[in-house]
Amino acid sequence: MTDGFSVVANDRDGRFELEPLEGGDDRHAMLLLPDIQAQDRWEMDRFHKHSVPDVVETVRALGDQPVLGIACGDIMFDDLSLYPEYERGVARMGIPFFQVVGNHDLDQEARTDEGSTVTFSRHFGPRYYSFDRGAVHYVVLDDVFWYGTGYLGYLDRDQLAWLAADLAKVEAGRPVIVALHIPALGTEPIRNAKPAPDDWSTLNNRETLVRLLEPYRAHVLSGHTHENDHNWVLGVYEVDGEEVRWRYKGTGLPPDHQLRAYLPGADPRSPQELVANVWDADEDWTVVWYEDGERRGRMARRVGHDPVSLRIHAGEDMPPRRQWVDPYARYLYYAPVTPGLREVRMEATDRFGRTYSAVAGPVPEGMRALEPAPGVPGR
């Protein structure tokens, strides 16, 4: 596109106001923020103090290319009166931001699915829509189906009919990025040996969505499960024409901080081995280790728990905060090490050829989970 358009506002009946971009948007970036989940004003203050400045700095580092953002559901944690504070934070970010509805963003007193998104739509407009940036067709969907006393992952008939008509206008082979909240399918059922996924944790009619997306180079982005799982990914997406690349971005950390490396002893299950947690890894990453500057070989991938995350989130003395969080990591890498070395370094290369490294060290001492806010028990 030589002349793109940027969303600058939406009115309360769901119409968007557009204004021309100053330049083309074939090259642009998209920031994905899943599950912000501000539960109260203390957590919303943390959003303003940590998340907003980090987004502002990330946008600055991306240079002069256009940037947009998508909040991939669960913007709130049930208290929808905090939406104005979220909107204030987004305004400070200074980029167009699109919202996906999550299960914690619903009017839970509603008796129907249609009624459950009244407050969300009053603040953010329609619950599903699409737009183009450069060569990419973006689609936002609502796959949280509220049935009065709970929810399940499901795309209703009207939404699917709209999506079929929308995609019929998109040339086959184009990149299509779909943002929804509940994942089409994650690995949690496999990890926990379940005979089938829970209906609240997966998109139950995902086969229909897959068929609609088959003609395109599609990426389906989701949140909900609080895992970085490559069916696909979260983070910073950079688009150059029809080429789409992505990377993970840790809040307050530089873009090249993509792994943490531990000396032997960090994982009690493998006390004689090095451990590396590579945040954004998938099957196409290569992770190797060096002993005193000499390359030794590829590290073996296993499922396990990051030692720092385990220290923060597990144990009886941890605060009663988000107790359902599981410090599980799908992409840990292990290797034996020769005793008596001066330095051990891990090096990870992603599917795009970008290389990141970290020197192995001990598990940091004194790390704890965030304490509850004063006067707020049971957080």
The residue ranges of every structural domain in the chain are: 5-247, 259-359
Report residue 156 as tokens: 């209703």
> Is the distance from CB of 68 to CB of 95 less than 8 angstroms?
yes
> Is the distance from CB of 346 to CB of 287 less than 8 angstroms?
yes
> Is the distance from CB of 353 to CB of 264 less than 8 angstroms?
no
Q: Report which DSSP code applies to 82.
A: G
The pLDDT assigned to 104 comes to 95
d(CA 49, CA 56) in angstroms, rounded, equals 12
Per-run averaged pLDDT (10 residues), the chain, 379 residues: 40 58 85 89 92 94 92 92 95 94 95 95 94 93 94 94 95 94 75 70 89 93 68 64 86 88 89 90 91 94 83 66 64 90 93 93 64 41
For 311, how many CA atoms within 13 A lie in the half-sphere containing its CB?
A: 12
The pLDDT assigned to 355 comes to 95
The pLDDT assigned to 77 comes to 92
**CATH number belonging to domain 259-359:** 2.60.40
The pLDDT assigned to 252 comes to 84
DSSP H stretches of helix in 109-150: 118-124
The distance of Cα 5 from the centroid of its chain, to the nearest Å, equals 25
Q: pTM of the predicted model, to two decimals?
A: 0.77
The per-residue b/e assignment along 153-184, b for 16 or more CB within 10 angstroms, e otherwise, is bbbeeebeebbeebbeebeeebbbbbbbbbbb
d(CA 98, CA 31) in angstroms, rounded, equals 10
Residue 275: beta bridge partners? 262, 334
Place of tokens 């307050």: 252
Q: Which of 159, 157, 158 is nearest to 142 (CA)?
A: 159
Phi, then psi, of 284 in degrees rounded to 5: -95, 5
> Is the distance from CB of 106 to CB of 125 less than 8 angstroms?
no
The pLDDT assigned to 58 comes to 93
Phi, then psi, of 96 in degrees rounded to 5: -60, 135
The pLDDT assigned to 121 comes to 95
d(CA 296, CA 299) in angstroms, rounded, equals 9
The pLDDT assigned to 6 comes to 42
The pLDDT assigned to 250 comes to 83
In CATH, 5-247 is 3.60.21.10: yes
> Is the distance from CB of 85 to CB of 75 less than 8 angstroms?
no
d(CA 234, CA 258) in angstroms, rounded, equals 13
Report residue 27 as tokens: 């090259």
d(CA 274, CA 70) in angstroms, rounded, equals 36
Report residue 176 as tokens: 């299509």
> Is the distance from CB of 184 to CB of 210 less than 8 angstroms?
yes
Instruction: Tell me if 5-247 shares its fold with 259-359.
Output: no
